A and B are shown apart, each in its own frame.
Chain A
Amino acid sequence: MKDIIICDKGKVAFSASDSWHLQDDDWFYDMKFKTAAEWREIQESELKTLCEEHYWIDVWSITGDLTSDDRELRIGQWRIVRADDKDKNGKVVRQVVFFSHFEKDYVRDMPVYKRGEDNSLVKITPGMKEHDDRFNVDEDEGWLFYLEDVPRIWNDLRKHRLMIDATDKLSSLFQTLDWQGRVARLIRRLIDERHYDDAVQTAACAVSRFEREFLPGDNPFVSAYKRMRKVLSMNELYPLTNLIDGV
């Protein structure tokens, strides 16, 4: 199912979100064994391959003439409509496109995008002078992704995956009701909310408490603390996981 749009300036490609790894998937599992430099190379190569595999449509090549039937383009479950607003002298004052997604009898309209610099698609949001309550829909479910944001999303997902892995020794505590279980769950929640520094400092405090209370067995927070710190200070020269597994 082609459920997302990838946008590169004025060109769009309809695709599936899993093709672009926009959510945590097995691809990120493989990536944790790579150095930061390898990871960057893989990212570049993957992005290039994905761009080549997709068919790109220049939305501004569609006519904006409101009287023309050609201003609508249907591709699979998607429809692109372009509309140009003109003043009384016939001068184009605004160029917009909007997308609709068809699923059986249900049609979803996405926000309207105007033509920005470099032909880019700029989302029209409340507060902008182009915003018109009659035509703008507030049904943005994150369907359109800018190509330039994809590497950042990948980096975020990879870092999140590594942080989760760094705390795997805490998972045995998640079901317990004592302070260790409570703090372990707090650390995991902080990671899920991307508050990585808070998670690291919480783990450091838990390490101290474990030591102060002379609890039996290995201190599970030590490993989590050290591994999380290493993820946050990734070194390009060494495979990250070698360092992590050495803890």
Chain B
Amino acid sequence: MDNCVLVCDGPRVALTTRDRIHLDDLFWHNFVRDRRSFFWDTDIMLNNLASGLRWFDVTQVKTEYRHDDLFIRRVADAFIFDLMKNESVSTIAMCEWKDGQLCHVPIYNISKCCDVIPWEHLIGYWSDAYKQAAYEVYGLHVKGWPYQMFMLARELFDFGKYDDAHELFRCAIARAKIENDDELVAKLENLEQQLLER
């Protein structure tokens, strides 16, 4: 249940998993560590994902409808989504049909609900997940100059320009020292060491 996500795009819904739509930490940690081995074009990724999901248009539901493991019940403009697995039924989400789209209605008294994600917000979630993963892996914020310089040094390193990467690290460490940021100095020294050990 923890891994389950209901994706909404206008009147369409699709039940999927967090890892399938790249919302799992492992994907982003791997992405941050080895950026070059990942194909990264959000438009193509979204298209591929969209075509791989089993969508269902909820406006077709009169009172109730079974769509794979998803059982959809309709009460006026409200839709209740139940997950049907091994004879057991549990309500995982509720949405309201408003202005041509499904709006998530939180269910406070049910502990087993899943995340409801509007399709257009997915890139935003990816962006947040990438930033979070970069911080967890390297301890650097993606918006700052240290991360920018580290990424450049890493790229130089990957292309075999070890001396350029080393001199860039020396420059970045000097800047961190001028800024009296001892923690950043230690981080940058550690990151260079990690690159050398790789």
| Chain A residues within 8 Å of B, Cβ to Cβ | 179, 182-183, 186, 190, 197-198, 201-202, 204-209, 211-213
Contacts and interface: CB of A to CB of B under 8 A. Distances in A.
The main secondary structure of chain B at its interface with chain A is: helix
Nearest first, the 3 A-B pairs at minimum CB distance are A205-B171, A209-B174, A208-B175
Nearest to A183: B167
Nearest to A207: B175
A212 B168 contact: no
Interface of B: 145, 148-149, 152, 156, 163-164, 167-168, 170-172, 174-175, 177-178
Contacts, number: 51
Given A179-B167, A182-B163, A182-B167, A198 B174 contact: no
A202 B168 contact: yes
A190 B174 CA distance: 20
Contacts of B148: 197-198, 201
B171 A183 contact: yes
Given A183-B168, A205-B168, A212 B145 contact: no
A202 B164 CA distance: 11
B149 A212 contact: no
B171 A208 contact: yes
B175 A209 contact: yes
Contacts of B152: 190, 198, 201-202
A190 B149 CA distance: 12
B164 A208 contact: no
Contacts of A198: 148, 152
A202 B178 contact: no
A197 to B, nearest CB: 7
A205 B175 contact: yes
Contacts of A213: 174
A69 to B, nearest CB: 44
Contacts of B170: 179, 209
Contacts of A208: 171, 174-175, 177-178
A186 B178 contact: no
B178 A212 contact: yes
A186 B174 contact: no
Contact of B178 (A182, A190, A201, A211): A211
13 contacts: A179-B170, A182-B163, A182-B164, A183-B171, A190-B152, A197-B148, A201-B145, A205-B145, A205-B172, A205-B174, A207-B175, A209-B174, A212-B174
Given A182-B163, A197-B148, A201-B148, A206 B171 contact: yes
Contacts of A211: 174, 178
Nearest to A201: B145
Given A182-B167, A186-B156, 5 more contacts: A179-B171, A183-B168, A190-B152, A198-B148, A204-B175
A62 B143 CA distance: 53
A202 B149 contact: yes
A103 B178 CA distance: 60
Contacts of B171: 179, 183, 202, 205-206, 208-209
A190 B167 CA distance: 15
Contacts of B167: 179, 182-183, 186
Contacts of B174: 205, 208-209, 211-213
A175 B175 CA distance: 25
A36 B19 CA distance: 48
Nearest to A190: B152
